[in-house]
A and B are shown apart, each in its own frame.
Chain A
Amino acid sequence: MNASQDKLLAKVTQADYKYGFYTDIETDAFAKGLNEDVVRQISGKKNEPGFMLDFRLKAYSHWKTMKMPEWAHLTIPEIDYQDIIYYAAPLQKPTLGSLDEVDPELLRTFEKLGIPLEEQKLLSGVAVDAVMDSISVKTTFKETLAELGVIFCPMSEAIREYPDLAKKYIGSVVPYTDNFFAALNSAVFSDGSFCYIPKGVRCPMELSTYFRINMANTGQFERTLIIAEDDSYVSYLEGCTAPVRDNNQLHAAVVEIVVLDNAEVKYSTVQNWYPGDKNGKGGIYNFVTKRGLCKGDHSKISWNQVETGSAITWKYPSCILKGNHTTGEFYSVAITNNYQQADTGTKMIHIGKNSRSTIISKGISAGHGQNSFRSLVKVLKTADNVRNFTQCDSLLMGDQCGAHTFPYIEVENDSAVLEHEATTSRIGEDQIFYCNQRGIDTENAIGLIINGYAREVLNKLPMEFAVEAQKLLQISLEGSVG
């Protein structure tokens, strides 16, 4: 590293997190702390059927026996689970007939976030579910979707209205015994989105959920379930933001996807939780379990993620490729800037014959950020003719940050063909100067270079969001060079 690059990097300033505002709105919240009673109360608030309460209670008692995982390449400060509020909901009328009944302050919040909930104003072809703190605020386009038999509604509603589906699938891909955070989520999850795509239906619009943590000291524990019946297709997108706060907030979500014969689910995430300030104060702890099951033959799941937020991220969207001729994909861009830490990656579990998986990971580290990529490709005895391609690239900006890769491979079937490529590079001062010399300033040059680097992943996002994601990447790195 030469003197001038030092100088360039010394100019570090943190761009303001533009979603950091707090909405002053009346909230119904529990007292801090977690015990069996709290679990019961959450279930009660939601008028859940008995099976759900049973599930929660089992999860809770199991969770009590577990410890936080320590294998990740993360430094996680002690979390006091009794110092967290487990349920907080914006106060509003119990049922919403129309948008007029939604608290205008809430609507303004989502508008500020660039998520208009009034249907006529929505991006054409995108249905939105908005979740603030513990509950779903508003789901749009429900009627249009209902005509096709597509169910897109808050999880709490699905549990009441479609108990058979809920009972059959909740916990079927991520059992509450899976890991510490999954167990915690299973005990206290508050809301989230539920999608059901019936047989033969190609969902005509993107389904998307925006998650917003608003209240201080609350944890957000949403749970999402997507079921794609035979020959169906859906593209789903989630976005997340939170106010700027000095203390850390916990987000422990679970996403389960079940895909049947010939069906396909594309799940895209633009994760922009508050990352903490430039000194590493505050920010969201994002400990998430996401897993999809390619249950039917010829089924497909792709995970596409752009991860720019959170103080600490612990997340491995995975595919269980159970059916024959199934496909799992993972396309990821993860940025860590300032003092952010991310340990993220994927697992591809090949059970079915002729199953295929692709893993493309683009890590970007700047400031003091620590970026770890972890992948597991597991091929079981039953899985003949498996193919996997893994590409893991790391881009470093400056010399205070770190990139680490941990590729694991477990193969029990000799017919498997696995390819692995990895590169590490730096944003070159030469690249920036070349852009400067053409009249492009350093900020834009970095945006251009980063977006070029991440292009394979950005190309996988739905059009409307790819543009947003590009801007987000640039904003997240603003000031990290020059």
Chain B
Amino acid sequence: MLEIKNLHVNIEGKEILKGIDLHVRAGEIHAIMGPNGSGKSTLASAIAGKDIVEITEGEINYMGENLKDMNPEDRARKGLFLGFQYPVEIPGVSLVNFMKTAINENRKFKGLEPISASEFLKMMNEKQELVGLHAKLTSRSVNEGFSGGEKKRNEIFQMAMLEPLLAILDETDSGLDIDAMKIVANGVNKLKRSYNATILITHYQRLLDYVIPDFVHVLYKGRIVRSGEKELAQELEEKGYEWIEEEV
């Protein structure tokens, strides 16, 4: 589903990713861990197609296509979803309106008619319930005045609405209390299918008690320095990131 080969990335002329290889198959959950500043969000941005990210070497293939020249909206329409580490506020645009626009753009891409009002409403209610998003938030402006936890939950809500094939959740667990985190984990688990995959970017091992990853990768200074199964997360938690530093 996702195949990253020897990916080198610059941001404003500075090399941030220094040769990443990553292979994600349908049905898998991958966790990417690593200290702050190691390049986790940059990797997510590169996959989603943010244009400050400059790929200098290597390639990203998604569903058999090289993403090199594909704009971010087409990547999204082909089932790629990014849960933002810092969700963006859009004043004056209600979450309902935003979601409806997004759903219809995605449908248009697939050659489908715009969603009917009743079908949309039903879907909204269903997904709100699934992720425990307070109904009052949907009539508010996107992320405006949302608490940190509400913003994160909103990302999961949007993921549930858009039903992506590959979801990358960038620190969706940070800043959440344990109950909120369980809801996020629950959302990920409930949406898991044999044909979709998830990349969880996380700083802590905590989330991985609730979502069991098939693979864990440690990203450090722009390189994946370790890959393993879920025990690696445990080891990392116990020994701390200093351990990686010493190892490298």
Chain A residues close to B by CB (< 8 Å) = 2-4, 7-8, 428-431, 433-442, 444, 448-449, 451-456
Contact of A455 among B92, B105, B106 (CB under 8 A): B92
Would B101 and A434 count as touching, CB distance under 8 A? no
Contact of A4 with B88 at beta-carbon distance under 8 Å, contacts A436-B72, A439-B162, A441-B73 already known? no
**In the complex, what distance in Å separates the CA atom of A448 from the CA atom of B99?**
11
Q: Does any Cβ of A come within 8 Å of B51's Cβ?
A: yes
Instruction: Check if B73 sits within 8 Å of A448, measured CB to CB.
Output: no
Contact A434 B76 (CB under 8 A): no
Contact B84 A438 (CB under 8 A): no
| A-B pairs under 8 A by CB, number | 80
Q: Min CB distance, B50 to chain A, in Å?
A: 6
Residue interface mask B101-144, A partner, CB < 8 A = 1:
11001100100000000000000000000000000000001000
Are the C-beta atoms of A439 and B12 separated by less than 8 Å? Answer: no
Most buried by A among B81, B82, B101: B101
A76, B122: Cα distance in complex, Å: 56
Q: Which of B12, B84, B93 has the most chain A CB atoms closer than 10 A to its own CB?
A: B93
Q: List residues of chain A with CB within 8 A of the CB of B81.
A: 437
A85 to chain B, nearest CB (A): 43
- Given A3-B12, A439-B76, A439-B105, A428:B88 Cβ within 8 A: yes
CB distance from A192 to the nearest CB of B (A): 34
Excluding A444-B105, A451-B93, 18 further A-B contacts by CB distance (< 8 Å) are: A8-B51, A430-B88, A433-B72, A434-B87, A435-B90, A436-B73, A437-B72, A439-B77, A439-B102, A441-B71, A442-B73, A448-B93, A449-B93, A452-B90, A452-B92, A452-B93, A452-B141, A455-B92
A470 → chain B, closest Cβ, in Å? Answer: 11
Residues of A within 8 Å of B158, CB to CB, are: 438
Distance in Å: Cβ of A360 to nearest Cβ of chain B: 12
A448 & B90 in contact (Cβ 8 Å cutoff): yes
User: B71 contacts which chain A residues (CB < 8 A)?
Assistant: 436, 441
Alpha-carbon distance A8/B162, docked complex (angstroms): 27
A441 to chain B, nearest CB (A): 5
Asked whether any CB of chain A lies closer than 8 Å to the CB of B98, the reply is: yes
Asked whether any CB of chain A lies closer than 8 Å to the CB of B52, the reply is yes
- Residues B90 and A454 in contact, CB atoms below 8 Å apart: no
Q: Are B105 and A441 in contact (CB-based, < 8 A)?
A: yes
A449–B90 contact, CB under 8 A?
yes
How far is it, in angstroms, between the C-alpha of A19 and the C-alpha of B228 when the chains are bound?
63
* Nearest opposing residue in chain B for A433, CB measure: B50
Q: Which residues of chain B are within 8 angstroms of A4 by Cβ–Cβ distance?
A: 51-52
How far apart are the CA atoms of A430 and B52 in the complex, in Å? 11
Give the bracket for the number of chain B residues in contact with chain A: 20 to 34
A449 and B93 alpha carbons, distance in the complex (Å): 7
| 14 CB-based A-B contacts, threshold 8 Å | A2-B12, A7-B51, A428-B88, A433-B51, A435-B98, A435-B102, A436-B49, A437-B48, A439-B162, A440-B101, A448-B93, A449-B90, A453-B91, A454-B92
| Other-chain contact of A439, B49, B87, B109 (Cβ < 8 Å) | B109
Give the distance in Å from the alpha carbon of A444 to the alpha carbon of B87 in the complex: 19
> Separation in Å of the B140 CB from the closest CB of chain A?
12
- Write the B30-73 contact mask toward A (1 if CB under 8 angstroms, else 0): 00000000000000000011111000000000000000000111
- Assembled-state Cα–Cα distance A452/B109 (Å): 24
| Closest 4 pairs (CB-CB, A-B) | A452-B92, A452-B93, A438-B102, A436-B72
B72 to chain A, nearest CB (A): 4
Which residues of chain B have a CB within 8 Å of any CB of chain A?
A: 12, 48-52, 71-73, 76-77, 81-82, 84, 87-93, 97-98, 101-102, 105-106, 109, 141, 158, 162
Chain A neighbourhood of B93, CB < 8 A: 448-449, 451-452
| Least distance between A201 CB and chain B CB atoms (Å) | 36
Cα(A265)–Cα(B104), bound, Å: 38
Residues of B within 8 A of A454 (CB): 92
Nearest CB in chain B: distance from A482 CB, A: 9
Q: Are B88 and A431 in contact (CB under 8 A)?
A: yes
B residues in contact with A429, CB < 8 Å: 52
A434 close to B88 (CB less than 8 A): yes
- A440 partner residues in chain B, CB cutoff 8 A: 73, 101-102, 105
Minimum Cβ distance to chain A for residue B133 (Å): 16
Nearest CB of chain A from residue B79's CB, rounded to whole Å: 10
Whether A437 touches B52, Cβ cut-off 8 Å, given contacts A444-B105, A454-B92, is no
Nearest A-chain residue to B72, judged by Cβ: A436
* Chain A positions within 8 Å of B91 at CB level: 452-453
> Complex formed: what's the CA distance from A83 to B77 in Å?
56
B55 shortest CB reach to chain A, Å:
13
CB distance from A455 to the nearest CB of B (A): 4
Compute how far the CA of A439 lies from the CA of B158 in the bound complex, rounded to whole angstroms.
Answer: 12
Contacting residues, chain B, for A435 (C-beta < 8 A): 90, 98, 102
Contact of B92 among A434, A438, A451 (CB under 8 A): A451
User: How far is the CB of B153 from the nearest CB of chain A, in Å?
Assistant: 16
User: In the complex, how many angstroms separate the beta carbon of A444 from the nearest chain B beta carbon?
Assistant: 7
- Quote the shortest CB–CB distance from A168 to chain B (angstroms): 43
Query: Which of A428, A436, A442, A451 contacts B76, CB < 8 Å?
Result: A436
Contact A434 B90 (CB under 8 A): yes
Chain B residues within 8 Å of A436, by CB: 49, 71-73, 76
B residues in contact with A3, CB < 8 Å: 12, 52
CB contacts (< 8 Å) of A438 on chain B: these are: 76, 98, 102, 105, 158, 162
Contacts of B76 in A (CB 8 A): 436-439
Find the residue from A429, A434, A453 having the highest chain B CB count within 10 A.
A434
Contacts of B97 in A (CB 8 A): 448
**Are B101 and A448 interface neighbours, CB within 8 A?**
yes
Measured CA separation A125–B12 after assembly (Å): 57
Q: A200 to chain B: closest CB distance in Å?
A: 38
Q: Within 8 Å CB of B89, what residues of A?
A: 431
Q: Least Cβ distance of A439 to chain B in Å?
A: 4
Q: Which chain A residues border B82 with CB–CB below 8 Å? A: 437
How many Å from the CB of B92 to the closest CB on chain A?
Answer: 3
> When the two chains form their complex, are residues A439 and B106 in contact, meaning their CB atoms are under 8 A apart?
yes
Bound complex: CA A448 to CA B142 (Å):
11
Minimum Cβ distance to chain A for residue B32 (Å): 18
- B113 CB to closest chain A CB, in angstroms? 16
Residues of B within 8 A of A456 (CB): 92
A433–B90 alpha-carbon span in the complex (Å): 12
CB distance from A313 to the nearest CB of B (A): 24
